[in-house]
Amino acid sequence: MKLCRNELLLMGGMYQILAFIFALFNTELSAAMIGVLYVLFWAAVLTMSMALIPSWGFVHKMNDMFPKISVFLASIGWIPYFAVFYALLTYTVDFFVNGSDSVTAYLNNFMPVFDVYMAAIVLSLLYATYRVFKGENLEMSCWAPM
């Protein structure tokens, strides 16, 4: 089975929506659920990347049952990957510039990056809307049945 980036983006979008729903509740239980969800998400990404999930996995079922929603989920699926990449990048830069393991570079650069981040989310959703209403091929998987 071949894995394409759209499957990983679709799973990232599903994680992002679930994490957003849990974040609406400001309790310790919801914070714990977000942590568990985060670990499960990265475990699923790892298993999908190593092709341990067969072709009938939940990502394929989600795409088959709801192709239009899958396009919107995949359009915001880059968010968790970007968040981890950005955190690691700023942590590394801060370590080499300041010689410490604090996250001051992340905190000092938060507002300008937040504006670009929000603009990228809006542009992603606009592109997904364009794809859905244009009627393009909405298949999110590279998997082809044998």
What domain count does the chain have? Answer: 1
Per the domain annotation, does 142 fall within a domain? no
Per the domain annotation, does 140 fall within a domain? no
Handedness of CA 78, 84, 87, 92 (dihedral sign): negative
Q: Count Cα neighbours of 108 within 13 Å in the Cβ-side half-sphere.
A: 8
Per the domain annotation, does 73 fall within a domain? yes
- The tens place of each residue's pLDDT in the chain, 146 residues long, gives 455 677 888 888 989 999 999 989 989 999 999 999 999 988 888 887 776 655 546 777 788 788 888 888 888 988 888 888 887 887 777 777 776 655 565 565 566 777 788 888 899 999 888 888 887 666 665 554 43
Per the domain annotation, does 9 fall within a domain? yes
Q: Which domain holds residue 45?
A: 5-134
The model carries a pTM of 0.76
Per the domain annotation, does 146 fall within a domain? no
Per the domain annotation, does 141 fall within a domain? no
Residue 21's pLDDT is 92
